[in-house]
Amino acid sequence: METTPKPPISWAIPPVVRLVPNDAAELASLERACFSHPWSEEQLAYGLREKALHILGMRAEDGTLGAYCSFYCVADEGEIVNIAVAEGNRRRGWGRVLLGAVLQSAAEMGIHRMFLEVRQSNAAAIGLYAAHGFVRTGVRKRYYPDTNEDALVMTLTMAEARQEPS
């Protein structure tokens, strides 16, 4: 039986783009693939439509949404809500580039401090955030309802942000 060879994986990192309400279905699909308590398509569309939620994303060569990061900005503070990278795009620099773009966007919006919660067992995400300058500032006990796992609170003073970590 003859098989058609698969095209080589492209290691090129795509540009970061701002997502819009019409992207909500694709966002919800990636949410379901990455999180145990995903946001719904309706929640995502509403947040984008009302401009309460900012979402930057990256598309794979075939045009599908391969990663995104959602964040809120209130006054001079921001909160990273979710960062999701499709399984096939992980460990290829997408998260690093996407987080750097989010921090740049937040700085341009006048944000002075960002914070986030992350599962204490998510070593890859903790490492990514630390590489950009986030530091652990607290713990939310039994934060995640599916496992009762604690969340680490990490904070970044934007003056100390590293868009391109070393």
Identify the CA nearest to 94 among candidates 58, 122, 64.
Answer: 58
Provide DSSP, 107-165.
Answer: HHTT--EEEEEEETT-HHHHHHHHHTT-EEEEEEEEEETTTTEEEEEEEEEGGG--SS-
Active-site residue identified among 129, 143, 144, 160: 129
Phi, psi (deg, nearest 5) at residue 128? -60, -50
Q: Are 104 and 69 in contact (CB under 8 A)?
A: no
Active-site residue identified among 68, 117, 144, 160: 117
Distances (CA, A) of 46 to 21, 43, 68, 123: 7, 5, 17, 31
Clarify whether 117 is annotated catalytic.
yes
Q: Are 127 and 156 in contact (CB under 8 A)?
A: no
List the catalytic residues.
117, 129
